[in-house]
Amino acid sequence: MITVSVPTQQVADAMGEVGRDVRLVVWDPSQADAPEAERDVIDIATIPHYTGGRVVYGRLSECANLKVIQIPSAGFEHAVPLVPEGVTLANAHGVHDSRVAEMTLALILASRRLLPRFIASQREGRWEQVFDNRGAYDSRALIVGYGSIGRAIATRLRAGEVYVEGVARSARTEPDGTVVHSVADLLDVLPDFDIVVVVTPHDETTDKLIGARALAAMQDDALLVNVGRGKVVDTDALVAELQSGRLHAALDVTDPEPLPEGHPLWTAPHCLIVPHVAGVESLSNRRFTDVLKAQIEALREGREPVFAVAKGPHLL
């Protein structure tokens, strides 16, 4: 019998038919210890969005038979050091691609077409015609972190007549012909693009990757969009560029986060901020439940877990 814990009854209901050899147990590790009767039989455990830390992973470590921890996010760097010895950590690869890509497109269009300014004018009852708002079409976009989410963003941008290239750890040409540059060449290629989208995860190699030098290399009036991790961008350097009026920014993530009251990013010119919502998908969504079902099938067939990224506490 395979025992799977899910954090709410809504997720359990959304799973539908999972087979007679599977038991679904409702347990949210962010709220309580595992039920005593289930602690030693849970094989796969899921946790909700924006939960984790030593308390949660401490509770997971008490599950003696635990094989897989299924997190709801694509990013996983925050969890790796906490995964119990011998337990596999799996991320939600592909679940959020379309959602993040939609928000990226929305942020680009809202910023380029001056929607925040027009919304403010509407609230004040002013008919303010500004005809020099730029479209995204005919732009050149560089996607920093060209993985599955980056590809989904590129697909939508190309549909809007935007030319797209990427940046990743190593240079390559994608099967569809997309040119992907090495991150080592980032400073050299940044001047060629007027939209720069950051979707890379955060680790020691990407900390402040978009710092003062990278921002200075961007074109005047270029737009920086961050839907990856706040710490990939040097906030102080970005604030300086925004206050000078040289760059524009649209941010789903910030550093620090949540952004505190009175922080200069709130009032920086040409800066659009949304509160880290681009990739948060309901765990009852079929894309997440499909991943969890695939995880069950892999365990049933004796295969390695799908989308495994670490085996506690080490990266794969």
Full DSSP string of 139-198: -EEEEES-SHHHHHHHHHHHHTT-EEEEEESS-EE-TT--EEEEGGGHHHHGGG-SEEEE
Name the pTM for this structure. 0.89
Distance (Å) of CA 92 to CA 26, 135, 184, 294, 307: 19, 33, 28, 11, 7
Instruction: Report how far residue 20's alpha carbon sits from residue 28's, in angstroms, rounded to the nearest whole number.
Output: 23
Residue 10, Cα to own-chain centre: how many angstroms? 23
| Co-location of 218 and 156 in the same domain | yes
What whole-number distance in Å separates Cα of residue 299 and Cα of residue 234?
Answer: 42
Q: Are strands 88-90 and 308-311 parallel, antiparallel or unpaired?
A: antiparallel
Q: Are residues 209 and 61 in the same domain?
A: no
- Can you give the CATH number for the domain in which 227 is found? 3.40.50.720
pLDDT at residue 78 in the model = 85
- Say whether both 114 and 181 belong to one domain: yes
Q: How high is the mean pLDDT in each 10-residue block of the chain (316 residues)?
A: 96 95 96 94 95 93 96 89 95 93 98 95 95 92 96 97 97 97 98 97 94 98 97 98 98 97 97 94 91 97 96 84
Q: Which of 123, 119, 101 is nearest to 110 (CA)?
A: 119
Residue 38 near residue 25, CB atoms below 8 Å: yes
Residue 60, class by beta-carbon neighbours within 10 Å (0-12 exposed, 13-18 middle, 19+ buried)? buried
Do 110 and 216 sit in the same domain of this protein? yes
C-beta contacts of 27-30 below 8 A and 24+ residues apart? 29/5, 29/56, 29/59, 29/60, 30/55, 30/56
Give, as one character, the DSSP assignment of residue 267: H
Same domain? 198 vs 262: yes
Regarding whether 213 and 87 lie in a shared domain, the answer is no
User: What is the DSSP-derived secondary structure letter of residue 215?
Assistant: H
What was the pLDDT predicted at 300?
96
Q: Which residues are within 8 A (CB) of 20 and not within 5 positions of it... i.e. 6 or more apart?
A: none
Domain count, the chain: 2
**Predicted pLDDT of residue 177:** 96
Write the CA distances from 44 to 28, 38, 70, 175, 265, integer angstroms. 13, 12, 7, 35, 41
Q: How many CB atoms lie within 10 A of CB 123?
A: 8
Residue 226, domain extent: 97-273
User: Are 138 and 248 found together in one domain?
Assistant: yes
Do 127 and 267 fall within a single domain? yes
Residues 201 and 239 in one domain: yes
Check whether residue 263 and residue 129 sit in a common domain: yes
The residue written with tokens 């007679």 in the block is 20
**Pair 25, 65 in one domain:** yes
pLDDT tens figures, 78-117: 899 999 999 999 999 999 999 999 999 999 999 999 999 9
Domain match, 255 and 115 both? yes
